[in-house]
Chains A and B, each alone.
Chain A
Amino acid sequence: MVIKKFMHITKELVEHLAKLALLELTEEEVTRYTRELDSLIGYFEKLNELNTTHIEPTYQVVPEAIVFREDSVQESFKREEWLKVVPQQEEGAIKVPKIIDVG
């Protein structure tokens, strides 16, 4: 969802974002965030007053270009070590709640 000029944060938008972020918000939290985010977004309205028609968008504030690595294989995690931090695993695969109904 693109934040458009002079956009207002609505209760529906906060609920939508919470859903995307997998957050469970109470009714009071939704009301509070709607109010707080709406006042926050107001600051950006100030920026929107500038005419940027002929200015290239700034993707990065660092002037350099990207740095590459050569295509060589480096040592990875030690498998047994990192599988220790996984909450649940079976034969090295990470066990998670069932994702979708198949078929």
Chain B
Amino acid sequence: MTSYEAVIGLEVHAQLKTKSKIFCGCSTEFNAKENENTCPVCTGMPGSLPVLNKKAVEFALKMAMATQCTIHEKSIFARKNYFYPDLPKGYQISQYDKPLAVQGKVGKVRIHRIHMEEDAGKNIHGTVSSYVNLNRAGIPLIEIVSEPDMRSSQEAGEYLRELRSMLRYLDICDGNMEEGSFRCDVNISIRPLTQKEYGTRAEIKNINSFRFVEKAIEYEIERQKEVLESGKRVVQETRLWDSEKNQTFSMRSKEEAHDYRYFPDPDLLPLQIPNTWIEDVKKSIPELGAQKKERFMNQYGLTEYDAGLLVQEKELAQYFEEVVQICQQPKLASNWILSELLRETTATQIAASPISSKHLGELIKLIQKGTISGKIAKTIFEKMWNSGQSPKTIVEKEGLVQVSDENVIRQWVEEVLKNNQKFVDEYRAGRTKLLGFFVGEIMKKSQGKANPATIHEILKKKLDSKGE
């Protein structure tokens, strides 16, 4: 049987987080009423003229630089002509033969180009009619086109997550796939491993989650395999992903629709990017996720896995570093955040956590100093989550300080041993597994406050000495 390899390229549309649209002053607010954010420019009224939003260009430049693209000193806005009810002008302003930036890199994947364009409106389809909302028409987008460098659904998923992370670290796009501010079209073909030329590709549109992108790719690889194995040929077409049936299906479309007759938009002069602007934007680019991950591993000695989890959101990485600054215990900080804090909240919500980074840092400090036991720390953590109070306040209020005083602990040990003479005898007769039972009983007696190391030391001494 022939072995096949998939060849995958992705086109990502990212909505830029400007306050106003790309060519007019309408708001980009997501939750506005239908057709509330519209004006003569974005509804294509005769005589209106587009004026470019400087911030949108700045945001696009940031992404172009973060992906190591070459930025064209001069790029051109062009009209992409087609008729659709969500496109009031009859053309979309985009960039065609002179895009903003070309030839970049994200990890192992080469970027073909990044260009700027306006979004179209949104259609809602009823049973008899369709409904058009033009609030989205004119929202600034960048389209990031990769080279066909990915070979599996996993590689595509990794690339997409990296892209989204970059956009979020740059603070230029919120990366929300469900709300459509981060959209992905997949170009995919397969070829026998021995073949150099690409096979015929299908384009899959309308995928609104990372999981679905991966599933759609896996489905499509199998579908194309079956087509080829049965001696037929893959048709070049646009397909849609059906997330309920878990399959792609052909979108019946007229091929003429792809004749866009691009030409330079006479309403917009060439976009010139002086070197001084590039230099300014370069200075504003923060440390991105991939670099941060590398630094966390080197500076804090974290594992690649933990560092990867901590840098998934900028806010989470920042929270982690604030905790470390206070407690100076990177490994403990990482554990507490990843296994305790992220059980209660999500990485994106971390800034709103009732446990501030300062308080978590103080909690870890208390454990480190031996003031509280690890077990009590979990109780305190829960109380901190519910009340927003500092660990110190809770420890003092509830008297949860760890007891390490040998005299006090010896007394607890003696009481427990006296009340369980039968088990003591069994232990001395060789059932040493009972040690854990004694520790548990003593801990219970101390209401969790006894220092386990001290318990262990005294208990062993008592049990072993009298046994001789």
Contacts and interface: CB of A to CB of B under 8 A. Distances in A.
Interface of chain A: mostly helix, strand, loop or mixed: loop
Nearest to B16: A71
Contacts of A94: 35, 85, 131-134
Interface residues of B, number: 55
Interface residues of A, number: 41
Interface residues of B, dominant DSSP: loop
Interface in A46-67: 59-60, 62, 64-67
B53 A71 contact: yes
Contact of A73 (B26, B83, B124, B134): B26
A76 B131 contact: no
B26 A97 contact: no
A74 interface: yes
A66 B27 contact: no
Interface string B257-277: 001010010101111100000
B33 A79 contact: yes
Contacts of A102: 125
A1 B56 contact: no
Contacts of B27: 73, 76
B326 to A, nearest CB: 37
A70 interface: yes
B226 interface: no
A94 B271 CA distance: 34
A98 interface: yes
Nearest to B59: A71
Contacts of A66: 52, 268-272
Contacts of B26: 73-74, 76
A35 interface: no
B19 A92 contact: no
A32 interface: no
12 contacts: A65-B270, A66-B269, A68-B52, A71-B18, A73-B25, A74-B20, A74-B25, A77-B40, A83-B35, A89-B35, A92-B34, A96-B132
Interface of A: 1, 16, 19-22, 59-60, 62, 64-77, 79, 82-83, 89-103
**List of 9 A-B pairs having minimum Cβ-Cβ separation, nearest first:** A74-B25, A71-B55, A92-B34, A93-B131, A68-B54, A94-B132, A65-B272, A66-B269, A99-B130
